[in-house]
Amino acid sequence: MDFKIAKERFEELLIKLRALEYASATIYWDSATGAPKKGAGERAKTLGVLSGEVHNVMTCDDMVQCLKLLDENKDKLDKITYATLNKIKREYDQMAKIPKDEFAQYSELRSLAGQVWEDAKEKSDFTLFEPYLEKIFKYQRKFVEYRGYDGNPYNVLLDDYEPGMNVDILDDFFNSLREKIVPLVKRIKESGKKIRTDFTNRSFNVEKQKEFSKYLLDILGFDFEAGMFKESVHPFTLNLNPYDVRLTSHFTKNILLSGIYGTIHECGHALYEQDIDKDLVGSSVATGVSMGIHESQSRAYENVIGRNINFCGFIYPKLKELFTDKLQDVTLKEFYEGVNEVKPSLIRIEADELTYSLHIMVRYEIEKKLINKEIEVKDLPEIWNKKMNEYLGVSPDNDADGVLQDVHWSDGLIGYFPSYALGNAYASQFVNAMKKDINFNNALKEGNFKAIKDWLTEKIHKYGSTKMPNDILKDVTGEGLNPKCFIEYLKDKYEKIYNLK
């Protein structure tokens, strides 16, 4: 095979890969938005066959040869092919360096572990899940060895979700949070200020909630002709390509805010995908570059924009119009404070903007130590509860509300959690940079969300995966991950709300 043929063959293999991934994603979407219950078994089998095919294509001899030849001729590649090569090389490394039979055994283990986790969570009994989690970490440690690493072995896993990330940067980041945010949370607790939230649990008609979410998507600039909005048990965003980006939310009658902020969060993900440069469509890099950058977009929309006083001021009249009788005794100030209440709690997905990253810190420290064999899986419940108490001042009295709360580990997603916290930090850094170019607060006040979306598109979205996370960060903000910026944003905002200054 010569370079020219390798380039063509590489493209052929990628076309097949993308079709298989498109198919799996559509089946997943279908499954999460109403596919019949009894079809679950055959659906799972089909997804298994398709992912086996992905594995076959990714590790076939032609792929190995193509990757080698293209890598040797990097300088001859156009920008898109170069970025694609780097992306596929990473994915290849994640699969191909692991012996095929172990990879298959591990896939099977994950599938089993998912079921056991569900059961263990329902029964709130970690000991049921423990042997499976033990094995998952054992495999991951082994895989890390196969794959090789620089410095800390946990770096390999961090890098899977946030290319370029490592424990040195993250230790520094979380140390700063520990030092500055943990005390802030305590001061808020001790301030005695009571924020009114009673109104958020009144009975809000679900159809009207949905209507309000559609209104939000509309004003924020979601393109309904290049996407869909539906309901599912957990909100998520799914991108087939920039012309077809779907998102869901979930509505509960007496939990007003979860539907609203679930929608805004997913909208951040969806805008990222919809606004990728259309020249990239039909390539493998027409998608967001990393979990961290993705989460920065959803968090920027959910928190920095969505929980800003000016944004609240813009949307509150419409909300009040829809729910006149439910909200007539609630002022804008009360609404704003209500959506920003700080309340250290046990469950990550229900956490407020301030304490959220502390939940992630608990998981980060545990994952890092487990991969480095400094702690053991069997001791997790104790360690978990201790850390929760230390950072958040609350501690679960059962495993379901503690170490068993998240699905991630059962699915082998180790190194994934930190990207949530990175997203929060990146978001504050991006908005800081944005403020130098546009009048952010004025844009929110006037509902000029196009200005914000256009800025994000130009600086971040349009690149898809052609630019690495850290390059985006540096080009946009002039620096790398900067915990100070995030901490200042939080201090500034919450000291005001809780009258701590």
Nearer to a copy of itself, 46 or 73 (CB): 46
Is residue 225 involved in binding a copy of itself (CB under 8 A)?
Answer: yes
Is residue 282 involved in binding a copy of itself (CB under 8 A)?
Answer: yes
- Applying CB under 8 A, among 30, 122, 145, 218 the residue interacting with a copy of itself is 30
Interface segment toward a copy of itself; rule CB under 8 A; list 200-208, 237-245, 365-373, 401-409: 237-245
**228 Cβ contact partners less than 8 Å away, ≥ 6 residues apart:** 246, 247
Q: For this structure, is 266 an active site residue?
A: yes
- Applying CB under 8 A, among 32, 46, 345, 383 the residue interacting with a copy of itself is 46
- Applying CB under 8 A, among 126, 173, 212, 227 the residue interacting with a copy of itself is 227
d(CA 129, CA 400): 11
CB of 451 to a copy of itself, least distance (A): 24
**292 Cβ contact partners less than 8 Å away, ≥ 6 residues apart:** 161, 162, 165, 418, 419, 422, 423, 426, 469
Interface segment toward a copy of itself; rule CB under 8 A; list 42-50, 104-112, 152-160, 180-188: 42-50
CB 59 within 8 A of CB 103: no
Nearer to a copy of itself, 40 or 332 (CB): 40
- Applying CB under 8 A, among 5, 44, 49, 104 the residue interacting with a copy of itself is 49
If one counts every other C-beta atom within 10 angstroms of the C-beta of residue 42, the result is 9
CB of 237 to a copy of itself, least distance (A): 14
Is residue 61 involved in binding a copy of itself (CB under 8 A)?
Answer: no
Residues 394-453 that bind a copy of itself (CB under 8 A): none
Secondary-structure breakdown of the chain: helix, strand, coil percentages, each rounded to the nearest 5: 70, 5, 25
- Write the binding mask 8 to 27 for a copy of itself: x where contact by CB under 8 A, - elsewhere: -------xx-xxx-xxx-xx
d(CA 339, CA 480): 30
Task: Give the residue among 301, 405, 304 at the shortest CA–CA distance from 362.
Answer: 405
Is residue 29 involved in binding a copy of itself (CB under 8 A)?
Answer: yes
d(CA 51, CA 57): 10
d(CA 263, CA 271): 12
Task: Give the residue among 279, 288, 274 at the shortest CA–CA distance from 80.
Answer: 279
Is residue 185 involved in binding a copy of itself (CB under 8 A)?
Answer: no
CB of 289 to a copy of itself, least distance (A): 20
CB of 23 to a copy of itself, least distance (A): 4
If one counts every other C-beta atom within 10 angstroms of the C-beta of residue 387, the result is 18
Is residue 277 involved in binding a copy of itself (CB under 8 A)?
Answer: no
Nearer to a copy of itself, 246 or 387 (CB): 246
Nearer to a copy of itself, 35 or 95 (CB): 35
- Applying CB under 8 A, among 2, 41, 254, 325 the residue interacting with a copy of itself is 41
Q: Of 266, 273, 295, 367, which residue is the catalytic one?
A: 266
Give Cα separations from 498 to 334, 336, 385, 485, 501 (angstroms).
Answer: 13, 12, 27, 20, 8
Q: How far is CA 111 from the centre of its chain?
A: 22
Is residue 352 involved in binding a copy of itself (CB under 8 A)?
Answer: no
Angle between helix axes 61-72 and 3-32 (nearest 10 degrees) is 120
Is residue 287 involved in binding a copy of itself (CB under 8 A)?
Answer: no
CB of 28 to a copy of itself, least distance (A): 10
Is residue 221 involved in binding a copy of itself (CB under 8 A)?
Answer: no
- DSSP-assigned beta bridge partners for residue 248: 230
First to last CA, the chain: 69
d(CA 227, CA 247): 8
CB of 19 to a copy of itself, least distance (A): 4
Number of residues lying near a copy of itself (CB under 8 A): 39
- Applying CB under 8 A, among 77, 95, 128, 226 the residue interacting with a copy of itself is 226
Is residue 218 involved in binding a copy of itself (CB under 8 A)?
Answer: no
Residues 188-207 that bind a copy of itself (CB under 8 A): none
CB of 11 to a copy of itself, least distance (A): 12
Contacts 24+ apart (CB under 8 A), 6-12: 6/65, 6/66, 6/69, 6/70, 7/66, 7/70, 7/81, 9/62, 9/66, 10/63, 10/66, 10/67, 10/70, 10/81, 10/85
Given CA atoms 102, 104, 105, 106 in this order, what sign does their dihedral have?
Answer: positive
CB 234 within 8 A of CB 380: no
Given CA atoms 392, 398, 401, 405 in this order, what sign does their dihedral have?
Answer: positive
Is residue 228 involved in binding a copy of itself (CB under 8 A)?
Answer: yes
Nearer to a copy of itself, 34 or 480 (CB): 34
Is residue 347 involved in binding a copy of itself (CB under 8 A)?
Answer: no
Helix (H) or strand (E) holding 132: helix 126-147
Nearer to a copy of itself, 223 or 495 (CB): 223
Contact footprint for a copy of itself (CB under 8 A): 15-16, 18-20, 22-24, 26-27, 29-30, 34-39, 41-43, 45-46, 49-50, 53, 223-228, 240-241, 243-244, 246, 281-282
Residues forming the active site: 266
